[in-house]
Each structure stands twice: as C-alpha cells, then as structure tokens.
Amino acid sequence: MEQKTFAFFPEAAFGPALNSVGIAQAITAMGHKAVFLSDPGFVEIYEGYGFEAHPVALSEPMEPEQMAKFWEDFINGHIPNFRKAPIDQIDNYVKECWEAIVDSAKWAEKDLPAVLAKIKPDVIAVDNVILFPAIKQYGVPWVRIISCSENEIEDPKIPPHLSGMASDDTAGHAAFRAKFEEVIKPIHEDFNAFLETCGEAPYKLGEFFEASPHMNMMLYPEPLTYERQHPLDPAQFQYLEGCVRKDEDYEVPTFAANNDGPLLYISFGSLGAGDTDLLKRLITLVGKSRYRALVNVGDYEGEYSDIPPNVVIQSWYPQPSVIPQVDAVIHHGGNNSFTECLFFGKPAVIMPYVWDGHDNAMRVQETGYGFRSDRYDWTDEEMIAKIETCLTDADMHARLAKISAHMQSGEGPVKAAKLLAGLVE
C-alpha cells in the first residue's frame, strides 16, 4: 500500500482537536501519515500525541500563553451572558464569536497556501464552522468534520444551530432564525466580500461554510438525529457515532469520605472552568450528599479551599478514561462530553452556557438519556432529584446501554479513517 498524507485542520478548541487526534491515530494505524494544520497555541497538543504539526496563524500572531489568556478572558468576560437564553446570547456572545471566526478565516488565508505546498496532503479534513478558501482550492479531496451538534447542517424542519430549542417549537425556531440573521448580517456581508477576493461565490445569509462534495463526517450518534425535511445522502454524509480517542489510564483515588458512594464527574471544559462560582456551588452540594465527585477546575485550582472530603479537584482529567468509571456526569454540553457520556452509557445532567451545549442539553433530555438543567436557576433539591434519577432510573439505564453498544460497535475513529482513505484508494 502506498502511504498517503492526511492533513487535519481542527478549530483551536480541545473538542475538535482531540476528535481529530482520534481519527489521526486510526489513520496512522492503517500505515498512512497524519499531519496537523494548527493554531500556533495547539501545536504542542498534537506533538504530544506524536504528530507533526504546522502552525497556521488564525489571528494576529502572539505567544501561545497570550493566546490562551485571550480566549480565557473572552469567555470569562461573557459569564454574565451565560445567564441568558440562547436567543438573548445572539447579539453578544454569538455575535462576537462570529466576528472572531471570520477574522480567523482571513488570517488563515495568509499562511495556508505555503503550508499546503510544503506538506503536500492527499486529503484535507477540516473541523470548523467556516470555509477556508485555500483548502477548497488546493486540488485534493477535502472533508468536512462536524464535531458540533448535528443541526450545524441546517434543515427547515429542525431546531436552528445554537438555539437549544425543542424539536417541535416551530415558532421558536422562526424567531431564533430571524434574530440570528438580523444580527449576523453585517458580519456575513464582510465574509462574503472576503470570499469574493478569493474567487469564491457568496454564501446565503447565515451560512459560513458548505457541505463538502467529497464527504462530510458527523461526530453525532445517529440514534439521536433529528427527523429532517431533506434527509442527508449517506454517500455524502456519514455518522461516526462519537469519535473517542485513546488517552492515558486513570485510577480513581481513595476518598476520605463516602468512598463507597456513587461517583460523579463534574466538568465544564477548559474554558467553562472560569465559572468558579458555579463549580464551588456544586462542590458544596456534593459535600453534603452521599456521593463522591471528581471535579475538573481547569487553571483555577488556586481559587479553591476547604474542599469536602468526598470531592477531589484537579486541573485536568483524561476524560475518556474517567467517564467509564463514574456513575453520572455533570457537564456543559460540549460535544466531546456529550458523545463520550453516550459512548460509555453514562447519564448526564447538562448545564449549558454557550454554543451547541444548548442543543446537546435539549437533545439529551428530549431523547431520555439525561437532563437539561438551567445553569444557575436551580435548588439543591432539584439538582439532587436529577442526579438520583440518573443513578436509579432503570429505563434510562436500558436506553444508555443500548446506545453505548451501538456507538462502540461503530468504531468512529476507524470508520472515519476508512472513509478518508477511501477518497484516495
């Protein structure tokens, strides 16, 4: 077999980055070469997994620590907006995100042609929400990975992406789309002007990326998919049933109290960890309960004191090695946490704050695999009731066992690697 080179270009966030690592591990196992096109701040992440990584500037160049601080400050500055309904985040958090994303596409265009010419990929896989013209124009098959919720590929019959709305709330869907298009219009016009300078046709209002004509891979589990007005063609769209990477082993520590109690894992991701008040409230709740908890506090370990004896905090956990060992998970609805809980058959209480966390939380609740919870407006009794149901509901456990078996048999990273290799074989 002739070795081919597969280039992965995930957005600069741990979810997409680590999903692509899982696929790259499977590509490498097939005897091919996997390389990464990387935001400069993520180069070390890919190198840590043993991959070659080539920096592509997605913003004004700055030191990795400075970049990490930029996004940390960006998220923490929006904590007041986390209290708002998704439709009321459009003209603040969502708007500012799209401004930054459009800027990232413009910056990337400066570096991409030379980087692609250097590595000469046979296939390029992009996990992002925006078109990079140089990748589409390079002349080899390019694949779009959709690691956010499935409704990133829009359809008139399903809830709009980022809305967090129920499937049957058609009036809500229309209101969300109208407000999104109104707020996004100037940003979209700016993006279309950029596309024109690159020789690309403009996109319709609200659209920043297109489906790949070669292949589109959805991280989403197929049993949770929405019923669409226009069903997706399997020749062009494939579901990966989660794409869980292999990570280092994790041994659950001995707890000073409740060592036989049900074990919870609490994580709001690397960026959500800045919401320390909420995490402290959950830690206090667990401290008064029969549970134990592993809590991911990100870079904020120094802000915690008086940790209850039935709680262990750390700045990072190898999540795919932790979730199989716990009884329930409280998380923010990020797509890795969302798919990993389902993959390992674990019930979740999702407390979303932004982006597709809203959609994932609603979808888990309306399909019966866990609960959506308001992030701040809850009582201790309400939270304990949700956790207890997660621990004891036999019907929920049966559903989770079934979807876990389905997803694990799908072998997402291997399936993705075969789909990619199939484009050049």
Listing DSSP states for 206-237 in one string gives T------SSEEEE-S-GGGPPPPSSPPPTTTE
HSE-up (13 A, CA, CB side) for residue 177: 17
* Per-residue pLDDT at 69: 73
More confident residue, 394 or 221: 394
pLDDT for position 248:
86
Average pLDDT over residues 84-112: 94
Residues in CB range of 330: below 8 A, 6 or more apart: 264, 265, 266, 267, 282, 348, 349, 350, 351, 387
Write down the number of H helices and E strands in the chain: 14, 13
Would you say 258 and 292 are in contact if contact means Cβ atoms under 8 Å apart?
yes
Return the percentage of the chain with pLDDT > 70, whole number: 99
Q: Write the single-letter amino acid at 328.
A: A
Lowest mean pLDDT among 39-43, 65-69, 150-154, 156-160: 65-69
Mean pLDDT, the chain, integer: 93
Output the DSSP codes for 342-354.
Answer: HHTT--EEE---S
- Which tokens is 313 given? 């905090």
Fold of 263-409: Rossmann fold (3.40.50)
The C-alpha atoms of residue 180 and residue 398 are separated, in whole angstroms, by 38
d(CA 193, CA 185): 12
**66 pLDDT above the threshold of 80:** no
Give the contacts of 46 (CB within 8 A, at least 6 positions apart).
Answer: 17, 21, 36, 38, 52, 53
| Helices 335-343, 14-29: inter-axial angle, 10-degree rounding | 50
Q: How confident is the model at residue 37 (pLDDT cuts 50, 70, 90)?
A: very high
Is the pLDDT at 405 greater than 90, yes or no? yes
121-130, 178-187, 391-400, 403-412: the lowest-pLDDT one: 403-412
The predicted-structure confidence for 159-201, as pLDDT tens digits, reads as follows: 999 999 999 999 999 999 999 999 999 999 999 999 999 999 9
CA 176 to chain centre: 21
Sheet holding 370-372, edge to edge: 311-314, 292-296, 263-267, 328-331, 348-350, 370-372
Q: Tell me, what's the pLDDT at 337?
A: 92
298 neighbors 270 (Cβ within 8 angstroms): yes
Give CA–CA dist 179/420, Å, rounded.
37
Q: Domain limits of the chain?
A: 5-245+410-422, 263-409
Same fold, 5-245+410-422 and 263-409: yes
Percent pLDDT > 90 in the chain is: 81
Strand pairing category for 263-267 and 237-239 = unpaired
Residue type, 225: T
Residue 67 has pLDDT above 90, yes or no: no
Residue 246: band (very low, low, confident or very high) from pLDDT cuts 50, 70, 90: confident
Please state the CATH superfamily assignment of the domain spanning residues 5-245+410-422 in this structure: Glycogen Phosphorylase B; (3.40.50.2000)
Is the pTM for the entire model greater than 0.85? yes
What span, in angstroms and rounded, lies between the C-alpha atoms of 198 and 106? 10
Confidence of residue 1 (pLDDT cuts 50, 70, 90): confident
Between 390 and 335, the more confident residue is 390
Residues 6+ apart with CB under 8 A from 292: 255, 258, 259, 261, 262, 263, 264, 286, 310, 311, 312
Looking at residue 160, its amino acid is P
Phi/psi at 82 (5° precision): -65, -20
Residue carrying structure tokens 């959506």: 372
pLDDT at residue 72, rounded to an integer: 74
Alpha-carbon span 386 to 196, nearest angstrom: 51
Average pLDDT, integer, range 247-273: 92
Query: If you search the block for the tokens 């409280």, which residue do you land on?
Result: 330
Q: Is pLDDT at 31 greater than 80 in this prediction?
A: yes
Mean pLDDT in residue range 206-220: 95
CA dihedral 360, 362, 366, 368 (to 10 degrees): 60
Does the pLDDT at position 245 exceed 80? Answer: no
- The two tokens of residue 199 are 């020789």
- Predicted confidence (pLDDT) per residue in 363-391, tens digit: 999 999 999 999 999 999 999 999 999 99
Distance CA 58, CA 337 (A): 25
pLDDT band at 59 (very low <50, low <70, confident <90, very high): confident
Confidence class of residue 272 from pLDDT cuts 50, 70 and 90?
confident
